[in-house]
Amino acid sequence: DLAVEVVSPSDRPDELLTRVRRCLEAGSDEVWVAYPGYRAVHQYRRDEPGLIRTYREGEQIDTSRILPGLTLAVRDIFQVEDEDA
C-alpha cells in the first residue's frame, strides 16, 4: 500500500520520479519521498496522479487513506536520537 523513498545526494530527479511512477503502477496506493536535507516529504497518490503534496517540518502528513488513526509529524520522520543517550 505504501512505498517510501529516501533521497540521497546521488539520486537524480528523473530516476527518482521513475521509481515513484513504477511503485504506483505496481499497485502502491501512495509513495512518500523523504528529503532529509530539506526535512520535507512529498506524497504521491495513485488516485490523484497530477497532485504532489509537500509536507514540511511542523506539519502532519495526511495518513488517513492508508493508515487511519495514525498521526505522523514530519519532524518525527527526521528525528535522530542523541548518540549519548
Q: Which grid coordinates are listed for 21?
A: 511512477
Tens of pLDDT, residue by residue over 15-29, are 999 999 999 999 999
Contacts of 79 (CB under 8 A, 6+ apart): none
Cα distance between residue 28 and residue 34, in whole Å: 16
Q: How far is the first Cα of the chain from the last one, in angstroms, to the nearest whole number?
A: 34
Give which of 1, 40, 41 is closest to 24, Cα–Cα: 1
3-54 residue pLDDT tens: 999 999 999 999 999 999 999 999 999 999 999 999 999 999 999 988 999 9
